Amino acid sequence: MSKLSPQDHAGFVRWMREASPYLRAHRGQTFVVYLGGDLVAGPTFQHVVQDLSLLTGIGVKLVVVHGARPQVEDRLAAAGIATRMAGDLRVTDSAALGEVKQAVAAVRFTIEAQFAHATGQRQPGGGAIRILGGNFVVARPAGVIGGIDLQFTGELRRIDIAGLRAQLEHADLVLLSPLGYSPTGELFSLNALELATAVAGELAAGKLVLFTPTPEIRDRSGRALRQLTPPEIRATEIAEGGPPAPVLAAALRACKLGVGRVHLVSSVDDGSLLLELFTRDGVGTMFSDAPFDQLRRATIDDVGGILDLIEPLEASGVLVKRSREKLEIEIDHFTVMVRDGLTVACGAVYPYPSDGMSELACIAVHPDYRSAGFGALLIAALERRAAEAGVNSVFVLTTQATHWFQEHGYVKQGLESLPMGRQALYNYQRNSLVLSKTLAR
């Protein structure tokens, strides 16, 4: 057994602590994973299978849908079979279908063999990874497009979701190939990406994972976009060089179908799946109909998260200490920003309506997110909340963040500028500076 260095030891402990909530959250969930044929043939495939095996080990119910496009193309070329294209769809005649079946079978056997090898990575005595398959996918011919008969190129007609769910209760994973059967006994070649998306939607999967060589989306300024909702992606000018258009379309369609979250994960970077699923900020791009970051008024359930955020600042003297009891009583004054269950920013508004002023207090941002612009978002939200209460200006008392508030339009004032009720509570030992800002109307 190799011995970790002190630096590696600290990093491992930190990662495990961050990952532990996800271990609980993922257990019992259904994930659908798309593996393209390029990934199966690539150098990271072995490690991806190990990471998928880890998911089954913590109780995730997996449906893996694999593609085989490069393998099919290689077999067609080797057999000297030329095929026509109708848009993005290949015409699959009977000769080509024979090569498709051979290529798909070879990829499937490769995947099953690699999972058998990954069994050795599981806890001793845990047993082999159980993989099931079957005729869960009913297809029909894609028909004639642009005057071209696609023959044995098919499209999805129906998925036996009840059968899939039943198998997931008895297996570690269900492996689906990009082939569909018709009630007349014919076999059709299907688009694996479209199949994975449809399966995830009908299963109401918690996650759809799409492996792609380029998972990161950037806007025209070069800024990486890690979390997106469908309206945000449609309203954003996307830079070139990101995920292929079919992958992006599949992610958006999955959100529309009700999939909880869609993750675009690198198929070339080792460990991307674990970093995406078990760290708060991930390394790919995540799509969800629900915003990833929630900026909202606090409730009593947020008290613990706020305390975790402010206690280090209280210990260092940056913030005045608040007891849990006091925080519970004053929770209605607070606004929080929550990212994936973690309170990353908080602040409170205390009104002095007779003076036309409000105090902004207990403003804190998690150290890992101070460069992410959360502080600016929070203070803007607090100012809006104060304005909605009808006051004309806001003020803050601070010992160490003077410049930050000045950057946001606050001006130094004397103690006499405070409401009389707040002057009476001023702590001369802390000697806080007073800054105020007139609210725009």
Which amino acid, one-letter code, is at 235?
A
Q: Which residue is associated with the tokens 């200490």?
A: 321
Distances (CA, A) of 290 to 190, 202, 214, 228: 31, 19, 24, 9
Q: Whole-angstrom Cα distance, residue 21 to residue 235?
A: 32
pLDDT along the chain (441 residues), means of 10: 62 80 89 97 96 93 97 96 88 96 97 87 63 93 91 95 93 94 94 97 96 91 84 85 93 93 96 92 86 86 95 92 94 92 92 95 90 84 93 95 94 95 93 93 62
- Which residues lie below 8 Å from residue 348, measured CB to CB, with a gap of 6+? 330, 333, 334, 335, 360, 361, 362, 363, 382
Which residue ranges form the domains of the chain, and what is each CATH number? 6-287 (3.40.1160.10), 293-438 (3.40.630.30)
- The Cα–Cα gap between 337 and 368 comes to 14
Residue 115 tokens read as 């999972």
Tell which residue, 179, 171, 189, has the closest CA to residue 30: 171
The DSSP code for 324 is H
CB atoms within 10 A of CB 148: 15
* Predicted pLDDT of residue 1: 43
| 144 contacts 150 by C-beta, under 8 angstroms | yes
Pairing of strands 227-228, 224-225: unpaired
> Residue 265 in 3-state DSSP?
strand
Distance CA 129, CA 114 (A): 10
Strand partners, 89: 86
Output phi, psi for 120, to 5 deg: -65, -15
How confident is the model at residue 441, as a pLDDT? 62
* pLDDT for residue 127: 67
